[in-house]
Amino acid sequence: MNFEFSDEQRQLHEAVECYLSEQYGFDRYQSIKRSVTGWDHSIWRGLADLGVLGLTVPAELGGLGFGPLETLAMMGDCGRSLLLEPVLSSAIIATAVLRAFAAESAAGQLLSAMAAGEKIAVLAHFESSARYDSQWVTTRARRSGGTYTLDGHKGVVMHAGAADILLVSARTSGEAADVQGVSLFMVPRAAPGVVLDIYPTVDGQRAADVYLNRVELPVASRLGPEGGVLIAVDAALDIGLAALCADAVGVMQALLDATIDYVRERQQFGQPIGRFQALQHRIADMLIHLEAARSMSYLAALRCTAADVRERRLALSAAKTVVGQAGRFIGQQAVQLHGGMGMTDELKVSHLFKRLTAAQLMFGDSDTHLQRFAALARS
Amino acid sequence: MRLEFTDEEQAFREEVREFLRQKLSADISEKVLNGYELGRDESVQWQRRLHERGWGGMGWPVEFGGPGWNSVQQYIFEEESALAGAPRLIPFGTKMVAPVIMAFGTAVQQQRFLPNISAGAEWWCQGYSEPGAGSDLASLKTRAVRDGQYYVVDGQKTWNTLGQYADWIFCLVRTDSQAKQQSGITFLLIDMKSPGITVRPIVLMDGGHEVNEVWFENVRVPIENRIGEENRGWTYAKFLLGHERTNIAGIGIAKRELARLKGIAAREFQHGRPLLEDPLFAAQIAQVEIDLWALEITNLRVLSAERRSPAAGPEASILKIRGTEIHQSISELLLRAVGPYALPFRREAMEAGWQFDPTREAPGPRYASTLAAAYFNQRKLSIFGGTNEIQKNIISKMIGL
């Protein structure tokens, strides 16, 4: 039992923290957010140089070959800085998907290019009627000779517009909720028949609904066995969920820090409002929530690659429940304690609050995971 | 970073389990696991068993006769003891006054008191709170006036836990009424057999006699029973309050009671289905289980960090607040799990060995009989040891407000 980060993990965190505090201040975030694409090439280059983009890419493919604990060590810094670039989508989740098929040369080459910052890939899996159910896949892939033809619609695909390659799940057999029958395809974003409806999300990141209209792909663009990739997709999503928890904890820490600073400075009735016990107790409650969330982000990182799926999901659902509830409390109370200023676009507080709101809505909210936990705990 | 305990820690856990298997009698664990009342003798008997094994001074260093466990070992011991249904150790001797005697007592005091605490030969209780000094402990008024080689003590202590069994009481008394509140307090060890001490029971809402008022009228206390210096008692008391951290959250007991809750919810039926499958009730159990898991990891994080340096931040207050809230939630869910059969309130049914009339159908499940009293009793958790509101004051100070 040991909850200390290793020296290497600490150094990684410090390097990312240092880079982002120099390069990714609130002004920079604001200008990137307002840009057309919503992400910045020079930052992406910088993250590649730091090793962030190849963090979990195998060493033989040009990455660092690290895992969830190193991801945990640096994701909080990304959250804290409100990083808009697709680290979670590409460097964590899509990388985890591709790692499962790294023996295939196409996946291996893509991973190398991703580690170098030359290519971005994102997983396009969830569908508009699936809510948070990863088994619900209705997009179809029909094979005819040497060609697959894809038809379907993927909903709220994070950073799809930034991606060179979409990793699209599609049914080659079976019905919507079947575990078997789901295949995975590397689809160039610019392929004929791929249409993206790109929009900003509530927290200023970019996402898109992806429409696939008779998209024709060579057989070689399929990754893994036909009809048998859902396990790998779920495994990658679990790794992503753990990373999202770590990101959210970084956001919560930033909100708590900002709120403590604010109530010490803000004067009303002739004294700093932090002298009022009602506010002191609220802040104590925020800290209590934060420490619970931090603990669960550690648990998520430690368990997100566990071979025992039940064990893994119990831990991840428990983590997402706590992180969601803590994020809601800390976000709402940070706005409340900043008073009118908390409502403004001018302060970072509202942006951090919105990032937590987005995190709650991704990968299943607290209620979804509470239910899943209850069902698993009984089984 | 890893969740699993080391091989040595696992081996230690096995050693504790083996000890519990051999030395914890079934009639005692049955009482603990079902929430039946335990008497003085059962607690003392368990303390003696621990002492025979060399574990009587559980958190003590070897030089004072303890096993020299680190905080991880103490945590493991307490967790396993709780899960097995061992009596909860009465903390006033081993965990409260003993560390003060070790840190600030004389060699004579250490030799006089520590062995008897470890052996369970003397029962200690605490004389801190007064009717006018609760959260504001430093406003205490019980007076001690020097008379030659004695202090003469007059006043009233309250919320004294299990003082009806006690041989000794450690007290905070005022020796200087002119000084600033905290500076005029002295820490005294007082023999409960001293003339002038009266113990009066306070019956709590669960019907039990767990706490007392203790009255002092011209009680003569030899000055050699003073800890450290006169008027420095507040320093020693603060040391004591900051001392016990490793098990403040009571993770082991909470795990045990959660398992009990699930067991009962599986045996209670609603619309022909186990209550455990009711979506709303199941969600409430899941919530408290998840909260407990988070707290367990927070507790382990504190232990892990303590290997480097002792925790000095708001950790203990966080553990106390969340631990007590979770215990209270579980006790409330236990109450609600048995529905209308939480209503019968029979003192005799709260003791082991009480039998239903065998000629009739049982008046509700046997396990229901103690649940309301336990729920009532557990309301104390967020009040004692520094109310949860005081803990939040401490947290906000620690973070600079």
B255 touches chain A (CB under 8 A): no
* pLDDT interval class at B244 (50, 70, 90): low
Nearest-neighbour CA in chain B from A336: distance (Å): 17
Report pTM. Answer: 0.96
- CATH number for the segment(s) A123-226: 2.40.110.10
Structure confidence at residue B310 (pLDDT): 77
B180 touches chain A (CB under 8 A): no
Smallest CA–CA distance from A368 into chain B, residue: B283
B166: tokens are 């006690």
Share above pLDDT 70 across residues of chain A, in percent, rounded to a whole number? 100
A298 touches chain B (CB under 8 A): yes
All domains of chain B, ordered by start, with CATH?
Answer: 7-89 (no CATH), 124-231 (2.40.110.10), 251-398 (1.20.140.10)
Q: Tell me the average pLDDT across B190-210.
A: 97
Distance from C-alpha of B83 to C-alpha of B62, rounded to nearest angstrom: 26
CATH 2.40.110.10 domain range(s) in chain A: 123-226
Residue B273: is it exposed, middle or buried by C-beta count within 10 angstroms (0-12/13-18/19+)? exposed
Whether the per-residue pLDDT at A5 is higher than 90: the answer is yes
Structure confidence at residue B362 (pLDDT): 83
Could you write out the DSSP letters of every residue in A148-173? Answer: EEEEEEEEEEETGGG-SEEEEEEESS
Whether the per-residue pLDDT at A345 is higher than 70: the answer is yes
Whether the per-residue pLDDT at A166 is higher than 80: the answer is yes
The per-residue pLDDT for range B337-376, each reduced to its tens digit, is 999 999 999 888 888 888 888 888 888 899 999 999 999 9
Share above pLDDT 90 across residues of chain A, in percent, rounded to a whole number? 99
CATH 1.20.140.10 domain range(s) in chain A: 231-378
B106 touches chain A (CB under 8 A): no
Helices (H), chain A: 7-23, 26-34, 41-50, 68-80, 95-99, 105-115, 230-265, 277-303, 309-337, 348-361, 366-378
Q: Which residues of A touch B400 (CB under 8 A)?
A: 260, 264
CATH architecture of A7-120: Orthogonal Bundle (1.10)
Q: Which residues of B touch A285 (CB under 8 A)?
A: 392
Q: Tell me the average pLDDT across A308-325.
A: 98
Do B396 and A284 count as a contact with CB atoms less than 8 A apart? yes
Between β-strands A194-200 and A206-218, what pairing exists: parallel, antiparallel or unpaired?
antiparallel
Phi, psi values for residue A297, rounded to 5°:
-70, -35
B273 touches chain A (CB under 8 A): no
A62: tokens are 């040009």
CATH 1.10.540.10 domain range(s) in chain A: 7-120
Domain A231-378 CATH (choose: 3.40.30.10, 3.40.50.10710, 1.20.140.10, 1.10.1510.10)? 1.20.140.10
Distance from C-alpha of A186 to C-alpha of A217, rounded to nearest angstrom: 9
Q: Tell me the average pLDDT across B59-76.
A: 95
Distance from C-alpha of B114 to C-alpha of B56, rounded to nearest angstrom: 10
The per-residue pLDDT for range B311-332, each reduced to its tens digit, is 778 999 999 999 999 999 999 9
Nearest-neighbour CA in chain A from B398: distance (Å): 10
Nearest-neighbour CA in chain A from B288: distance (Å): 10
| Residue A274 near residue A297, CB atoms below 8 Å | no
The per-residue pLDDT for range A16-36, each reduced to its tens digit, is 999 999 999 999 999 999 999
The per-residue pLDDT for range B245-292, each reduced to its tens digit, is 668 899 999 999 999 999 999 999 999 999 999 999 999 999 999 999
Do A292 and B322 count as a contact with CB atoms less than 8 A apart? yes
Whether the per-residue pLDDT at B185 is higher than 70: the answer is yes
A284 touches chain B (CB under 8 A): yes
Q: Which residues of A touch B387 (CB under 8 A)?
A: none
Q: Which residues of B touch A257 (CB under 8 A)?
A: none
A306 touches chain B (CB under 8 A): no
Structure confidence at residue A58 (pLDDT): 98
Whether the per-residue pLDDT at A360 is higher than 70: the answer is yes
ipTM, 2 dp = 0.96
Do A292 and B295 count as a contact with CB atoms less than 8 A apart? yes
The per-residue pLDDT for range B126-167, each reduced to its tens digit, is 999 999 999 999 999 999 999 999 999 999 999 999 999 999
A302 touches chain B (CB under 8 A): yes
Distance from C-alpha of A173 to C-alpha of B154, rounded to nearest angstrom: 87
